Amino acid sequence: MCRKIIFPICALIVLVISNAQADTNTISRYVPQAQQVGSGRLTLLFWNVYDATLYAPKAQWSAHEPYALSISYLREIKGAEIAKTSAEAIRDLGFSDEEILDDWYGSMLRIFPDVDESTTLIGVRNDKGETIFYNNDQIAGTITDPAFADWFFGIWLNEKTQKPELRKKLLGLQAR
CB 23 within 8 A of CB 122: yes
Query: Could you tell me the pTM of the whole model?
Result: 0.85
The mean predicted confidence, pLDDT, of the chain is: 89
**35: domain CATH number?**
3.50.70.10
Residue 119, in any domain of the structure? yes
Using DSSP, state whether 148 is helix, strand or coil: helix
How far is it, in rounded angstroms, from Cα 32 to Cα 19?
20
How far is it, in rounded angstroms, from Cα 85 to Cα 70?
17
The closest alpha carbon to 59, from 27, 34, 95, belongs to 34
How far is it, in rounded angstroms, from Cα 13 to Cα 3?
15
Mean pLDDT within 159-176: 89
Residue 162, in any domain of the structure? yes
**E strands of 23-164, at which residues?**
34-44, 47-57, 67-73, 120-125, 131-135, 138-143
CB 152 within 8 A of CB 86: yes
CB 120 within 8 A of CB 71: yes
Residue 176, in any domain of the structure? no
Residue 65, in any domain of the structure? yes
pLDDT tens-digit map of 93-117? 999 999 999 999 999 999 999 999 9
5 alpha-carbon distance from chain centroid: 32
Whole-number percent of the chain with pLDDT over 90: 81
Residue 175, in any domain of the structure? no
Question: How high is the pLDDT of residue 9?
Answer: 39
Number of independent structural domains in the chain: 1
Range of the domain at 15: 2-170
- Residue that wins the pLDDT comparison between 7 and 168: 168
pLDDT tens-digit map of 20-70? 444 678 999 999 999 999 999 999 888 999 999 999 999 999 999 999 999
